[in-house]
């Protein structure tokens, strides 16, 4: 009885007592990665909206310098003397979203060329992928 039934059960119990903490540590290490991946998939499933774009503009502190309107299902942004670093910090991650298509970008440096911080003015036209109105 000992060799055939109880000893294998005790060996299995000892094995899982040693293995369980390692598996729990791996699960704890992978949990944040899984949550980040789920959030990324949810974000990709969401279609960009004009309201969301306005929130991003406001959060970036550009609400006073960027004017946005919707025409023909596209977003038309008019940029007026925005600090270059602030514009790029907002625009580049936005354009990395595969759901947003950049259709036109006309920007130029404005102000004094000797200014240490460049300012940018111009127009940006974007559209949400998938058709319809953004």
Distant-in-sequence contacts of 53-57, Cβ < 8 A, 24+ apart: 53/94, 53/134, 56/90, 56/94, 57/90
Same domain, 58 and 40: no
Same domain, 34 and 95: no
Write the Ramachandran bin of 129: left for phi over 0, alpha for psi from -120 to 50, otherwise beta.
Answer: beta
Residue 44 · residue 128 · CB < 8 Å: no
Q: Identify the pLDDT of residue 46.
A: 66
The H or E element spanning position 133 is none
Q: What is the extent of the structural domain holding 80? A: 50-128
Same domain, 80 and 40: no
Using a cut of 0.75, tell me whether the model's pTM lies above it: no
Rounded mean pLDDT of 1-9?
80
Q: What's the whole-number average pLDDT of the chain?
A: 84
Same domain, 70 and 102: yes
Domain count, the chain: 2
For residue range 16-49, list pLDDT tens digits in order: 999 999 999 999 999 988 888 777 667 656 677 8
Q: Identify the pLDDT of residue 131.
A: 47
For residue range 64-78, list pLDDT tens digits in order: 889 999 988 899 999
């Amino acid at each position: 009885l000992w060799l055939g039934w109880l000893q294998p059960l005790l060996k299995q119990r000892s094995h899982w007592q040693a293995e369980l903490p390692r598996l729990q540590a791996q699960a704890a290490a992978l949990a944040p990665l899984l949550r980040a991946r789920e959030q990324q998939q949810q974000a990709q499933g969401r279609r960009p909206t004009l309201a969301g774009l306005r929130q991003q503009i406001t959060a970036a502190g550009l609400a006073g310098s960027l004017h946005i309107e919707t025409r023909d299902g596209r977003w038309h942004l008019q940029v007026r003397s925005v600090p270059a670093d602030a514009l790029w910090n907002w625009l580049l991650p936005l354009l990395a979203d595969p759901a947003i298509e950049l259709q036109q970008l006309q920007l130029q440096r404005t102000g004094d060329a000797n200014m240490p911080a460049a300012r940018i003015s111009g127009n940006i036209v974007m559209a949400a992928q998938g058709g319809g109105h953004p």
